[in-house]
Amino acid sequence: MIIVADFIDYVKDGIHFITGDEEVFCPVCHQLMKKCGRCRRYVRGKYGKRDELAVRVLYCQNCNHHHRELPDFVVPHKHFGAEVFAAVCDALNNYFMDDHSAARMLRWVKEFFKFGLATARRLKLEHPTLVTEYNADSTLDTLRYFVMLVVNAGEWRTTSSCILSG
Ligand SMILES: [Zn+2]
């Protein structure tokens, strides 16, 4: 799995074909990956609307891993998109969700931000030239940035075992 911030969103027959704009490198061994197909992904946006995405599957010839290329409005293993998580945290537009679900999402984001900060700090120590730039005043910007950082560093699995069980 890899997250891309720059992508083309081409809609055909109601399906969003997402194609990353830049070359994509393997999160495991950092070699350039090749496109080898597409797969289906659903994501629920604001107002509860469900969108169908056709995302690229990329293949790393070096370590024989397949990785799905996800646009940065998707949160891995979550039905709701980043926009919904941010809206719930900022207490906006969450009228289609019950209080229990909203509280759970809020808790998840809080825990994930802690994990994201710790990951950013560690990556900066390992790679001093790394630029960690995001707008900390924006929940959406911070969430999208941390998801991309954690996933592309190959750390999502670690996150899962810590906090994503809920
Ligand atoms: Zn690889």
pTM for the model stands at: 0.88
How is residue 80 annotated by DSSP?
A: B
How far is 102 from 3, CA to CA, in rounded Å?
A: 25
Q: What pLDDT is recorded for position 165?
A: 45
Q: Ligand 1 mean position to 2 CA, how many Å? A: 12
pLDDT tens per residue across all 166 residues of the chain = 999 999 999 999 999 999 999 899 998 898 999 999 999 999 998 888 899 999 999 999 999 999 999 999 999 999 999 999 999 999 875 567 888 888 999 999 999 999 999 999 999 999 888 888 888 899 999 999 999 999 998 888 766 665 554 4
Q: Ligand 1 mean position to 56 CA, how many Å? A: 16
Q: Write out 15-65 in H/E/C secondary structure.
A: EEEEEECCCCECCCCCCECEEEEEEEEEEECHHHCEEEEEEEEEEECCCCE
How is residue 7 annotated by DSSP?
A: E
Q: Ligand 1 mean position to 28 CA, how many Å? A: 5
Q: What pLDDT is recorded for position 166?
A: 42
Q: What pLDDT is recorded for position 155?
A: 87
Q: Ligand 1 mean position to 70 CA, how many Å? A: 17
Q: What pLDDT is recorded for position 160?
A: 61
* Structural domain spans, the chain: 2-163
CB 60 within 8 A of CB 31: yes
Q: Ligand 1 mean position to 91 CA, how many Å? A: 40
